[in-house]
Structure 1
């Protein structure tokens, strides 16, 4: 499984769909990269476990919270879930671009 490359990720939040562009680079059991979307640009890093990526991101808008991501990569597709703090979960999907 390689998650390396550019991804367009859509998160279906209670406030509507949010689109994020991500650039990822794996190295063993970790990855690094950047995400850019409505919340601005952010450096990200996380864990790789087989075909699954996990990471977290701190946001300040619409309110401060930590988002916890888990995404399974299958070829050029990505599916998963985002924990939205006290607001529950939101499904995510992505495709390599």
Structure 2
């Protein structure tokens, strides 16, 4: 099982303030999948890759604005940290904590 499997509360520090969303990751037959819920929408994660305790993925959101996001995080037990990027905007800090396994 991957170290990221479970449900996470992520906080992204953006130019318009800190945003929170719930991310769920699951592994079935060796395939890692994920989704994110926040701001009234649930979106699938794409291009999800794992290398040890490093994870990356992409996500398209429409709220609070339409953006394509790229994430890169490192998991350490029940916490994670890393960054996200929305197109040409500056990278933003991401932190998270596992809320269920």
Scaled to the shorter chain, the TM-score interval is: 0.7 to 0.9
Deviates more, 1:1-10 or 1:53-62: 53-62
CA distance in 1, matches of 2:8, 2:19: 14
CA distance in 2, matches of 1:26, 1:70: 18
RMSD: 1.7
CA distance in 2, matches of 1:57, 1:41: 10
The residue number in structure 1 matching 2:60 is: 58
Residue by residue over 1:3-31, the C-alpha shift from the partner in whole angstroms, topping out at 9 and shown as x without a partner, is 11110000001011110101111364x52
Deviates more, 1:32-41 or 1:50-59: 32-41
The residue number in structure 1 matching 2:38 is: 37
Q: Aligned-pair distance for 1:2?
A: 1.2
Residue by residue over 1:38-68, the C-alpha shift from the partner in whole angstroms, topping out at 9 and shown as x without a partner, is 1611112401011111001112344433110
Deviates more, 1:40-49 or 1:9-18: 40-49
CA distance in 1, matches of 2:94, 2:61: 17
TM-score normalised by length of structure 2: 0.84
TM-score normalised by length of structure 1: 0.87
CA distance in 1, matches of 2:74, 2:37: 20
How has the CA–CA distance of structure 1 residues 47 and 91 changed in structure 2, closer, same or farther, with 3 Å as cutoff?
Answer: same
